[in-house]
Amino acid sequence: MVKPRGIFCIETSQWTAQRRGQPSVVPLLRLIESIQGTPFIHRQFSTWEELERLLGQVTRASYRRYPIVYLACHGEMRRLALRGKGSKNHVGRAVTIAELAAPLHRRGAGKVILFSACSLMRGNDGELRKFVDDTGVRAIMGYERDVGWIESAQLEVGLLASLARSRIADGKSLRAALADLKSARDLMRDLEFRIVPRRAR
Protein backbone atom coordinates (compact mmCIF):
# COMPACT_ATOMS: atom_id res chain seq x y z
CA MET A 1 0.00 0.00 0.00
CA VAL A 2 1.28 3.47 -0.91
CA LYS A 3 1.96 5.58 2.17
CA PRO A 4 -0.44 8.55 2.17
CA ARG A 5 0.97 11.92 1.17
CA GLY A 6 0.29 14.83 3.46
CA ILE A 7 -2.12 17.73 3.05
CA PHE A 8 -1.05 21.32 3.72
CA CYS A 9 -4.28 23.19 4.40
CA ILE A 10 -4.44 26.99 4.31
CA GLU A 11 -7.83 28.24 5.50
CA THR A 12 -9.35 31.66 5.97
CA SER A 13 -10.05 32.59 9.57
CA GLN A 14 -12.97 34.77 8.42
CA TRP A 15 -15.68 32.27 7.40
CA THR A 16 -18.17 33.34 10.04
CA ALA A 17 -17.97 37.05 9.21
CA GLN A 18 -20.20 36.48 6.16
CA ARG A 19 -21.68 33.02 6.63
CA ARG A 20 -23.24 32.50 10.03
CA GLY A 21 -22.04 29.28 11.51
CA GLN A 22 -19.64 28.41 8.67
CA PRO A 23 -17.52 25.54 10.00
CA SER A 24 -13.83 24.95 9.50
CA VAL A 25 -12.51 22.27 7.12
CA VAL A 26 -10.45 20.75 9.95
CA PRO A 27 -13.02 17.99 10.69
CA LEU A 28 -12.69 16.82 7.07
CA LEU A 29 -8.93 16.57 7.46
CA ARG A 30 -9.27 14.72 10.77
CA LEU A 31 -11.67 12.24 9.17
CA ILE A 32 -9.20 11.46 6.37
CA GLU A 33 -6.37 11.17 8.88
CA SER A 34 -8.34 8.77 11.10
CA ILE A 35 -9.37 6.52 8.21
CA GLN A 36 -6.19 6.27 6.18
CA GLY A 37 -3.46 7.91 8.25
CA THR A 38 -3.03 10.95 6.02
CA PRO A 39 -1.03 13.59 7.92
CA PHE A 40 -2.05 17.21 7.62
CA ILE A 41 -0.90 20.68 8.52
CA HIS A 42 -3.50 23.39 9.11
CA ARG A 43 -2.72 27.11 8.98
CA GLN A 44 -5.10 30.08 9.05
CA PHE A 45 -4.90 33.54 7.51
CA SER A 46 -7.01 36.68 7.36
CA THR A 47 -4.96 39.02 5.14
CA TRP A 48 -3.24 38.74 1.78
CA GLU A 49 0.12 39.26 3.47
CA GLU A 50 -0.47 36.22 5.69
CA LEU A 51 -1.66 34.12 2.75
CA GLU A 52 1.32 35.16 0.63
CA ARG A 53 3.69 34.05 3.39
CA LEU A 54 1.94 30.69 3.78
CA LEU A 55 1.99 30.01 0.04
CA GLY A 56 5.72 30.60 0.15
CA GLN A 57 6.06 28.14 3.03
CA VAL A 58 4.44 25.21 1.20
CA THR A 59 7.34 25.12 -1.26
CA ARG A 60 9.98 24.56 1.42
CA ALA A 61 11.90 21.30 1.38
CA SER A 62 10.67 20.53 4.89
CA TYR A 63 7.14 20.20 3.47
CA ARG A 64 8.04 17.92 0.58
CA ARG A 65 5.87 15.17 2.10
CA TYR A 66 2.86 17.49 1.89
CA PRO A 67 2.30 17.77 -1.87
CA ILE A 68 -1.45 18.48 -1.64
CA VAL A 69 -2.19 22.14 -0.99
CA TYR A 70 -5.78 22.69 0.14
CA LEU A 71 -6.71 26.38 0.05
CA ALA A 72 -10.12 27.16 1.61
CA CYS A 73 -11.42 30.70 1.31
CA HIS A 74 -14.22 32.89 0.00
CA GLY A 75 -14.04 33.20 -3.78
CA GLU A 76 -15.37 34.99 -6.82
CA MET A 77 -14.58 34.76 -10.53
CA ARG A 78 -10.80 34.07 -10.78
CA ARG A 79 -10.22 35.80 -7.44
CA LEU A 80 -10.07 35.06 -3.74
CA ALA A 81 -12.00 37.50 -1.58
CA LEU A 82 -10.24 38.39 1.64
CA ARG A 83 -9.23 41.18 3.93
CA GLY A 84 -6.43 43.47 2.85
CA LYS A 85 -3.76 44.76 5.21
CA GLY A 86 -5.29 47.24 7.61
CA SER A 87 -8.78 46.75 6.19
CA LYS A 88 -11.63 46.89 8.69
CA ASN A 89 -13.99 45.11 6.33
CA HIS A 90 -14.12 41.34 5.90
CA VAL A 91 -13.83 41.58 2.13
CA GLY A 92 -11.46 44.43 1.44
CA ARG A 93 -9.25 42.78 -1.15
CA ALA A 94 -9.71 40.61 -4.22
CA VAL A 95 -6.59 38.55 -4.93
CA THR A 96 -6.19 37.55 -8.55
CA ILE A 97 -4.96 34.25 -9.94
CA ALA A 98 -1.77 36.01 -11.10
CA GLU A 99 -1.11 37.31 -7.58
CA LEU A 100 -1.65 33.83 -6.13
CA ALA A 101 0.95 32.49 -8.53
CA ALA A 102 3.67 34.96 -7.48
CA PRO A 103 4.73 33.33 -4.14
CA LEU A 104 4.89 29.95 -5.92
CA HIS A 105 6.72 31.15 -9.04
CA ARG A 106 8.77 28.20 -10.38
CA ARG A 107 8.69 26.64 -6.91
CA GLY A 108 5.52 24.55 -7.06
CA ALA A 109 7.00 21.37 -8.52
CA GLY A 110 5.29 18.28 -7.17
CA LYS A 111 2.31 20.16 -5.75
CA VAL A 112 -1.38 19.74 -6.52
CA ILE A 113 -3.57 22.66 -5.43
CA LEU A 114 -7.23 22.26 -4.53
CA PHE A 115 -8.96 25.64 -4.35
CA SER A 116 -12.04 25.33 -2.13
CA ALA A 117 -13.41 28.72 -3.17
CA CYS A 118 -16.56 29.67 -5.06
CA SER A 119 -16.15 30.48 -8.77
CA LEU A 120 -12.36 30.83 -8.65
CA MET A 121 -11.89 28.52 -11.66
CA ARG A 122 -14.54 30.20 -13.82
CA GLY A 123 -13.61 31.76 -17.13
CA ASN A 124 -10.32 32.34 -18.89
CA ASP A 125 -8.60 29.04 -19.64
CA GLY A 126 -5.37 30.79 -20.63
CA GLU A 127 -5.09 32.53 -17.25
CA LEU A 128 -5.49 29.26 -15.37
CA ARG A 129 -2.98 27.46 -17.58
CA LYS A 130 -0.54 30.34 -17.09
CA PHE A 131 -0.81 29.78 -13.33
CA VAL A 132 0.14 26.12 -13.79
CA ASP A 133 2.99 26.96 -16.18
CA ASP A 134 4.38 29.81 -14.07
CA THR A 135 4.31 27.91 -10.78
CA GLY A 136 5.26 24.45 -12.05
CA VAL A 137 2.51 22.72 -10.04
CA ARG A 138 1.17 19.40 -11.29
CA ALA A 139 -2.43 20.62 -11.34
CA ILE A 140 -4.93 23.07 -9.95
CA MET A 141 -8.58 22.33 -9.35
CA GLY A 142 -11.66 24.01 -8.02
CA TYR A 143 -15.14 25.32 -8.77
CA GLU A 144 -16.47 27.35 -11.67
CA ARG A 145 -19.60 28.38 -9.76
CA ASP A 146 -20.76 29.22 -6.26
CA VAL A 147 -21.14 26.06 -4.18
CA GLY A 148 -22.68 25.10 -0.86
CA TRP A 149 -20.58 23.93 2.06
CA ILE A 150 -22.18 20.48 2.38
CA GLU A 151 -21.86 19.69 -1.35
CA SER A 152 -18.26 20.90 -1.59
CA ALA A 153 -17.27 19.07 1.62
CA GLN A 154 -18.80 15.85 0.27
CA LEU A 155 -16.65 16.08 -2.85
CA GLU A 156 -13.48 17.34 -1.21
CA VAL A 157 -13.22 14.66 1.47
CA GLY A 158 -13.21 11.92 -1.18
CA LEU A 159 -10.96 13.85 -3.52
CA LEU A 160 -8.36 14.69 -0.86
CA ALA A 161 -8.33 11.11 0.37
CA SER A 162 -7.82 9.79 -3.16
CA LEU A 163 -5.04 12.28 -3.95
CA ALA A 164 -3.25 11.41 -0.72
CA ARG A 165 -3.26 7.70 -1.62
CA SER A 166 -1.99 8.22 -5.16
CA ARG A 167 1.29 9.08 -6.83
CA ILE A 168 0.42 12.13 -8.92
CA ALA A 169 3.25 12.63 -11.38
CA ASP A 170 1.39 14.02 -14.39
CA GLY A 171 -2.00 14.51 -15.96
CA LYS A 172 -2.34 10.81 -16.73
CA SER A 173 -1.79 9.68 -13.14
CA LEU A 174 -4.09 12.44 -11.91
CA ARG A 175 -6.87 11.18 -14.19
CA ALA A 176 -6.25 7.64 -12.89
CA ALA A 177 -6.65 8.84 -9.30
CA LEU A 178 -9.87 10.66 -10.17
CA ALA A 179 -11.17 7.58 -11.99
CA ASP A 180 -11.36 5.87 -8.57
CA LEU A 181 -13.96 8.45 -7.55
CA LYS A 182 -16.78 7.01 -9.63
CA SER A 183 -19.38 8.09 -7.09
CA ALA A 184 -18.16 11.70 -7.33
CA ARG A 185 -18.51 12.13 -11.10
CA ASP A 186 -22.05 13.49 -10.98
CA LEU A 187 -21.15 15.79 -8.12
CA MET A 188 -18.13 17.13 -10.01
CA ARG A 189 -20.36 17.86 -12.99
CA ASP A 190 -23.11 19.47 -10.92
CA LEU A 191 -20.67 21.66 -8.98
CA GLU A 192 -18.82 22.58 -12.18
CA PHE A 193 -15.58 21.27 -10.74
CA ARG A 194 -12.66 21.98 -13.05
CA ILE A 195 -9.18 20.47 -13.21
CA VAL A 196 -6.25 22.06 -15.05
CA PRO A 197 -3.22 19.72 -15.13
CA ARG A 198 0.29 20.59 -16.18
CA ARG A 199 0.79 20.00 -19.87
CA ALA A 200 3.09 17.21 -20.98
CA ARG A 201 6.42 18.46 -22.28
Q: In this predicted model, what pLDDT tens digit does every residue of 127-142 receive, in sequence order? A: 999 999 999 999 999 9
pLDDT for residue 2 is more than 90: no
**Separation of alpha carbons 43 and 89, rounded Å:** 21
pLDDT tier, 94 (very low <50, low <70, confident <90, very high otherwise): confident
**Residues 166-179 pLDDT 10s:** 877 666 777 777 77
| CATH architecture for the domain at 7-197 | 3-Layer(aba) Sandwich (3.40)
Q: Which amino acid is at 135?
A: T
- pLDDT mean over 112-130: 92
**Which one has a higher pLDDT value, 13 or 116?**
116
- Give the model's pLDDT for residue 21: 57
pLDDT at 184: 82
Where in the chain are the domains? 7-197
Q: Share the mean pLDDT of the chain.
A: 86
- Identify the band that residue 181 occupies on the pLDDT scale cut at 50, 70 and 90: confident
Please tell me the predicted confidence (pLDDT) of residue 91: 46
Q: How far is CA 25 from CA 71, 78, 175, 194, in A?
A: 10, 22, 25, 20
Give CA–CA dist 187/151, Å, rounded.
8
How, if at all, do strands 112-116 and 7-12 pair? Answer: unpaired
Share of the chain above pLDDT 70, in %: 86
Average pLDDT over residues 115-129: 91
CB 11 within 8 A of CB 72: yes
| pLDDT for residue 148 is more than 60 | yes
Residue range 143-159: mean pLDDT, rounded? 93
pLDDT at 163 > cutoff 50 = yes
